[in-house]
Amino acid sequence: MGRMKAAISCFFIALLLIFKPVTVFAYEDIEGEIIEGQKSLLAVLVMAEAGNQDLDGKRLVVDVVLNRVRDSRFPDSIEEVIYEDNQFSPVEDGGLDRSMWTVTPDCFKAVEMEFNGNELDSNIIYFSAGRYSDYGVPCYCHGDHYFSK
């Protein structure tokens, strides 16, 4: 009987060594990781599009992307909005990839400020450098960018 208990104990110990426990993540954890990744991507876009602008200029670029996510005419995620064809020139010309290595703390700050409910403008959905976009209704110019709704 003693040998049987020892054999069973060894069997279970062997099972524990072979089959390690699997970590199960809650949906909220996975969703949080996705959101953080999209916020980082957004900060890189801000660097590519508005790296030479003041903090408000960076925040306005964030607003354009977030407003598009909420607008039914555009995709439903930050990543899809950024990578939608012919929307942001740094995606097309490689500037987004280059900006990944030069993104500044101000870019992350701009993203966080807009995510925390301190949006500067919840209406703008287009911007262009040097002139108003061919789309939307012109609103105003800030720095080098012309914003439209």
Q: Which CATH superfamily is domain 26-148 in?
A: Cell wall hydrolase SleB, domain 1 (1.10.10.2520)
pLDDT at 145 over 90: yes
Q: How far is CA 142 from CA 18, 28, 56, 92, 147, in A?
A: 61, 37, 8, 24, 8
Contacts 24+ apart (CB under 8 A), 114-120: 114/59, 114/62, 114/63, 114/66, 115/39, 115/66, 119/59, 119/63, 119/66, 120/56, 120/59, 120/60, 120/63
pLDDT given at position 37: 84
Confidence band, pLDDT 50/70/90 cuts, at residue 28? low
Domain boundaries, the chain: 26-148
Model pTM? 0.78
pLDDT given at position 53: 96
Poorest-pLDDT segment among 5-19, 109-123, 129-143: 5-19
pLDDT given at position 30: 52
pLDDT at 4 over 80: no
pLDDT tens per residue, range 40-79: 999 999 999 999 999 999 999 999 999 999 999 999 999 9
pLDDT given at position 34: 62
| Mean pLDDT, range 131-137, rounded to an integer | 92
pLDDT tens per residue, range 95-132: 999 998 999 999 999 999 998 888 999 999 999 999 99
Tokens of 136: 């939307």
